[in-house]
Amino acid sequence: MAIFQTDFKFPNQTGFYRGKVRDVYYIGDLLVMVASDRISAFDHVLPAPIPYKGQVLNQTAGHFLEETCDIVPNWLIAQPDPNVSIGHMCEPIKLEMVVRGYLAGHAWRVYRDGGRMLCGIALPEGMKEGDQFPTPIITPATKAEEGHDEDISAEQILEQEIVDEPTWQQLSACTLELFQRGTKMARQRGLRLVDTKYEFGLKDEVITLIDEIHTPDSSRYYFDEGYSERQEKGERQPQLSKEFVREWLMENNFQGLEGQHMPEMPDSFSRQVTDRYIELYETITGISFERGDMQNVQERIENNVLGFLKELAPNS
């Protein structure tokens, strides 16, 4: 049984928000984030969930938040359930700090179609898909409430006063340091961190890392072994990410454009997606994945959250 959505009513709950993947419950100054098994691509949620995907995302994010808290404080307090993270409520900064070490994904599609500027950054001539940039580049996007996020340059961010110059410099420095840490950890696991995104907020006026990091939904990884040989031969790099889901959708004539019909994912492909997510978790963390008990999963989640909240405020 997969988790498509949840509809809990927790004590002292003041709000609820359903994102593309997470169901978010507001309780006082806490956020309870339930990672569902929904999967999105091209800013659309697919109609069928992917079993264990939410657990993979939740536990991957928890692992890397713990491993990077010396760089920048983060929102996470605890993970009382395989699919749940509970943390501090922060004021979100409406930017996605996308950082790219290689020419792949959206950047490659822009480049392939003749573009040589991305978010105000000039891209070198003569690159092939999968080539490494001389140094990582930050290509921010505006955080849209609905629809597609939009590329934006540092100059536009400052002109539109999304953040001020000192905050932008701090966000950029944190982004590059987090990417450097993620790159180092990936290489230790035989992988290359290709690109990823970070989201930040403010807690007591302090820049704080929020949401997930270095997960298959937010990141792309190449296999280190054979990378150089494949680039020399002009072969595509196999990768650990959800890009293969996007590719399957494109093969079935869907890119989220108006008038396109979302294809139905067969069970066999759904199982393959589950296996790929679990493979990524075990590969990038070095931790064996233990599938959570999915019988009465909604009850399991509710009981674990209630138990944690009671521990926080036993007399309430």
Q: 132 and 45, same structural domain?
A: no
Q: Are 209 and 246 in contact (CB under 8 A)?
A: no
Checking if the pLDDT of 202 tops 70, the result is yes
Domain boundary among 215, 244, 273: 244
Q: What percent of the chain has pLDDT over 90?
A: 78
Q: Quick one: average pLDDT of 114-139?
A: 97
Which pLDDT belongs to residue 1? 79
CATH code of the domain covering residue 69: 3.30.200.20
Given 244, 277, 299, the domain boundary residue is 244
User: Same domain, yes or no, for 286 and 305?
Assistant: yes
Q: What is the DSSP letter of 64?
A: H
Q: Is residue 146 part of a domain?
A: yes
pLDDT confidence of residue 145 = 60
What are the percentages of helix, strand and coil residues in the chain, rounded to 5?
Answer: 35, 25, 40
Q: Is 255 among the domain residues?
A: no
Q: Are residues 239 and 138 in the same domain?
A: yes
Across the range 273-279, mean pLDDT stands at 90
Evaluate if residue 195 carries a pLDDT over 90: yes
Same domain, 235 and 103: yes
* Whether residue 149 has pLDDT greater than 80: no
Question: What pLDDT is attached to residue 144?
Answer: 64
Q: What is the C-alpha to C-alpha distance for residues 2 and 281, in angstroms, rounded to an integer?
A: 18
pTM of this structure: 0.90
212 belongs to a structural domain: yes
Task: Examine the domain organization and report whether 292 and 218 are in the same domain.
Answer: no
Q: Do residues 86 and 97 both lie within one domain?
A: no
- Residue 125 in any domain: the answer is yes
Residue 250 CA: distances (Å) to CA of 91, 190, 269, 271 = 36, 29, 15, 19
Cα 182 from chain centroid (whole Å): 13
77 vs 280, residue with greater confidence: 77
Domain count for the chain, please give it: 2
What pLDDT does 276 receive? 87
Is the predicted pLDDT of residue 315 greater than 80, yes or no? no
254: in domain? no
Residues 179 and 39 in one domain: no
Running DSSP on this structure, what letter comes out for residue 237? P
The helix/strand/coil state of 282 is helix
Is the Cβ–Cβ distance between 243 and 105 less than 8 Å? yes
Q: What pLDDT digit, counting tens, does each position of 14-31 carry?
A: 999 999 899 999 999 999
> Is residue 114 in some structural domain?
yes
Asked if 115 and 73 sit in the same domain, the reply is no
Judge if 86 and 197 occupy the same domain. Answer: no
Looking up residue 197, the CATH number of its domain turns out to be 3.30.470.20
The reply to whether 136 and 199 lie within a common domain is yes
Query: Could you tell me if 28 and 163 lie in one domain?
Result: no
Q: Does the pLDDT at position 316 exceed 50?
A: no
Give mean pLDDT, residues 42-65. Answer: 92
Given a cut of 90, whether residue 243 has pLDDT beyond it is: no
With respect to residue 195, please indicate whether it lies within any of the assigned structural domains.
yes
Looking up tokens 């950047």 gives 107
Flag whether 220 is in a domain.
Answer: yes
Same domain? For 170 and 156 the reply is yes
- Of the residues 191, 209, 244, the one at which a domain ends: 244
Domain of residue 52, residue span: 13-90+264-312
Q: Supply the pLDDT for residue 247.
A: 87
